Structure 1
């Protein structure tokens, strides 16, 4: 399995401001300490090897969109995509290139829910304009089609849903049932979020599993009620989890906002004996330095609370590929 992150922010897309770019350049120059580079490749190697990620890169600004690649690498299997945030535009362009090289023009899209940050990429998702493309939109919500059609009404967007040329269908899934879809078995779980959200577990023929669980609030003072999620995350190879807030924020001024914290995600993954956790759905007001700091604190918290096998904590960013 491969997991590609096309959008990792929550709530709304964000862009790097000029001042932030200037500060990164200034920090890199200080770190270089007067050394000279013979060419761009040498400078890139310095950036990769000696600069911290918050200086040399960015966690990105596109909203939720994650691709899961399962099955043979020859392109016979359908695309599997979780959510249609603004990252779906970049994914769609890349996917069309792969289709031009022979990949199947079939997409299985799995929707956590239909708040705007998770569907805003759909009107710019290029495959919807290809008449040879088949798109199946899976969700636990019976009103999925209504949500996407409403977004493309004339008052909101100039291209009506009925003008799309792909073969688009909608399937409502139920919790507690396994579904064989493409190269994976899919299960879903209902989550605590406004108008409900759903988490998904994908398992391939080799038993490798990935959980996509975003926009789900887990209350730190009610962890005894989280047994269903511990079971859902159980023995998982990678859990992609909503870690939008710090523990202090999630338990105080942002309680009942439908999101969770890095600390609770680690606790759940420890109980579930998951092997890897990806911090995801980053707060839009957080800078790259803020997100990197949360990642470092998460690694330290995991080490301090570990009782069994290590849980590897990674931090998702736009463009990250994880091989499992």
Structure 2
């Protein structure tokens, strides 16, 4: 693979969100209304109708797992950003790929150590594989402490020392480029409680940015030159867009997150090609997330000016993007 393939295993922020019976029933009702009394000869025929005629919020779901993103394209290793609850499904899928010959080597890149970004690790099956190697990259010197602490007996029945994989914790300095699994990687500090770090992954002239849990204040955009340089020319920017601009200004300043509007502005200034909305607010319904996506596309069109178009996509659990 010359480039990279990005897989989203978890895209929610702060807390996992489950689809409730009421939510599923509402989706079914909307689908039946859209069908208008049609009959279908098979489930496959009905699925084809739904895919063609229903919006994503009705025919699909943005998902409920917290932050976990895989970057495929490394050499001889899995590359994963964060350990949110989506990590469980990734771990199960990685067993399938290991059975097919993929090396049992995992490189994790941690944005930060808050619970929603590490809560999947106790359920990460490969950690029990004595033939697995797990390298955890972070800007935090206390990454090992955080992972061990959440598996203390008061919180979880399986202690960290029962894990059988070979572990290595590596602390990196912001601004210092390094190589990992055939990718060129750098990190930058972000404004968030107990610090957060964004990552830039490069391979064969292509670049993916993973930047979540980072607050960008509209009134301080002149100070964002460092982020513009970090995002510069990126093929894909995965960006914290937890709130609308109205929320960040009126209700949630200093909560450590950003908005869809600021993400567009940063990507425009950086000359990025694609923006992926990410770290969705847990109280937002699928309709809410879809509405924000549409509003973001419209905002990008309004402020684009003479710049090249910025593609705006909305991350959901299961999305794959080729870079």
TM-score (norm 2): 0.98
CA distance in 2, matches of 1:285, 1:12: 9
- Determine which of 56, 60, 71 is the counterpart of 1:57: 60
CA distance in 2, matches of 1:33, 1:77: 51
- For structure 1, the 5+ residue unaligned runs are none
**Alpha-carbon distance, 1:56 to partner:** 0.2
Which residue does 2:10 correspond to in 1? 7
CA distance in 2, matches of 1:43, 1:183: 44
Which residue does 1:165 correspond to in 2? 164
1:1-324 paired onto structure 2 within 5 Å: 1-71=4-74, 77-204=76-203, 206-307=204-305, 308-324=307-323
CA distance in 1, matches of 2:241, 2:99: 36
**Alpha-carbon distance, 1:253 to partner:** 1.2
CA distance in 1, matches of 2:45, 2:219: 50
CA distance in 1, matches of 2:150, 2:122: 8
CA distance in 2, matches of 1:208, 1:70: 11
Secondary structure, in 3 states, of the residue corresponding to 2:16? coil
CA distance in 2, matches of 1:230, 1:38: 53
Secondary structure, in 3 states, of the residue corresponding to 1:239? strand
Secondary structure, in 3 states, of the residue corresponding to 1:251? helix
Secondary structure, in 3 states, of the residue corresponding to 2:250? coil
1:83-125 deviations in Å (ceiling 9; x for gaps): 0000000000000110011001100000000000000000000
CA distance in 1, matches of 2:182, 2:39: 50
Secondary structure, in 3 states, of the residue corresponding to 1:128? helix
1:169-191 deviations in Å (ceiling 9; x for gaps): 10001111111111210000000
CA distance in 1, matches of 2:317, 2:279: 11
Aligned residues: 319
**Alpha-carbon distance, 1:4 to partner:** 0.1
CA distance in 1, matches of 2:291, 2:269: 24
CA distance in 2, matches of 1:35, 1:20: 23
CA distance in 2, matches of 1:210, 1:111: 15
1:157-202 deviations in Å (ceiling 9; x for gaps): 0000000000011000111111111121000000000000000000
